[in-house]
A and B are shown apart, each in its own frame.
Chain A
Amino acid sequence: MARSNKPIVWGPFAAGGTVTALVTPVLILLTLLAGLGHAPDLLAYDAMRAFAGHWLAKLALAGVVFLSLWSAAHRLRITCYDLGVRADTRVATIVYGVALAGTAASVLYLTRI
C-alpha cells in the first residue's frame, strides 16, 4: 500500500469547508435580503462594480468561488458513493470538472469587471 495523493483534493476541500462555514451563510443572507426587497447597499450596481473592480476583491472572490465549489464537489462525490453509486472516477471527473469550470468562468467574468 502506498501513500495516497488524496491530499491534492482533500486540502482544498478542508480549506473550502472552513471558508464556506465562515462566510457562505452571511452571503446567502445578503442575496436573500436582496430577493426580499431589502437589497443591501453593496448590491447596487455601482457599489458592486466598485467593489469587484479592486484587484484584491477579485482575488478574494475567485478564491472563495474556487474553494466553495471544490468543497461542495468533493462532498457530492462522497455522497454519491454513500448512496451506492460505484462509478467513483466518473463522478469525480464530473464534480471536480464543474468546480473548475465554475472557477474559470468566475475568473473570466472578474477580468471583465
Chain B
Amino acid sequence: MSRKPYVRPVTAEWIFRHPRYVRYMVREFSCLFIGSWTLLMVWGLKQLAEGRAAWSVFLDVLKTPESVVFHVLALAFAAYHSVTWFRLAPKALPVQRGEDFVADGVISGAHFAVWAVLSAAVLLLAGAF
C-alpha cells in the first residue's frame, strides 16, 4: 500500500465560502477608511498650522461631494469596527465574579455605554448642536 496524500490548494476564494468570512473581511477593510480619514485629519492639522486661509481650504475640501461620500462610508465602516470590537471584548477580557463569569452582554454593554456617553460628550463640547 503506497501513501500519496493530496494537498488541496488554498486560494483567496475562502473569503466567500461563508458569510462569517465576508463579515470578517468587511471588518478588516474598515482599517482603510479609518486610516485614510486619519491621514486626511493630519493634512487638516497642517492646514490649521498654516493659518486662517489654509484652514478655509480644508473646510472647503470637506464640503466637496467626494468628501461627503467618503465620510458617509468612513462613518459606516468605523461604526462597524466599533460594534465588532465591543462585541468581541468580553472574549478577550473575561471577568470572574465568584464562581461564575460576568455575562458577555454586560461587558459589551458597558463598552457600548461608554461609547455612547463619550460620543455625546464630544458632540456637546464641540458645539455640534
CB-CB under 8 A from B103, the residues of chain A are none
Does the CB pair B32–A72 fall under 8 Å? yes
CB-CB under 8 A from B67, the residues of chain A are 35
Does the CB pair B41–A21 fall under 8 Å? no
For A72-91 the 0/1 string (1 means CB < 8 A from B) is: 11011011001110000000
| A27 to B15 Cα, complex, angstroms | 31
CB-CB under 8 A from A98, the residues of chain B are 39
Given A24-B34, A31-B62, A35-B63, A106 contacting B45 (CB threshold 8 A): yes
Does the CB pair A76–B32 fall under 8 Å? yes
Does the CB pair B59–A26 fall under 8 Å? no
| A23 to B11 Cα, complex, angstroms | 36
In the complex, what residue of chain B is closest to A73 when comparing beta carbons?
B35
Q: Which of B46, B75, B128 contacts A25 (CB 8 A)?
A: B75
Q: How far is the CB of B119 from chain A (nearest CB, A)?
A: 4
Given A49-B48, A76-B35, A82-B25, A28 contacting B75 (CB threshold 8 A): yes
CB-CB under 8 A from B128, the residues of chain A are 29-30, 33, 38, 40-41
Does the CB pair B42–A25 fall under 8 Å? no
For B15-37 the 0/1 string (1 means CB < 8 A from A) is: 10000000001001111101101
Q: Which of B30, B72, B85 contacts A18 (CB 8 A)?
A: B85
Interface residues of B (CB under 8 A from A): 11-12, 15, 25, 28-32, 34-35, 37-42, 45-46, 48-50, 52, 55-56, 59, 62-64, 67-68, 71-72, 74-75, 78-79, 81-82, 85-86, 111, 114-115, 118-119, 122-123, 125-128
22 A-B pairs whose Cβ atoms sit less than 8 Å apart in the complex: A18-B85, A20-B78, A22-B115, A24-B37, A25-B75, A25-B78, A25-B82, A25-B119, A26-B118, A28-B78, A29-B128, A31-B71, A35-B62, A42-B125, A45-B55, A52-B48, A65-B41, A79-B25, A84-B11, A102-B38, A106-B42, A113-B48
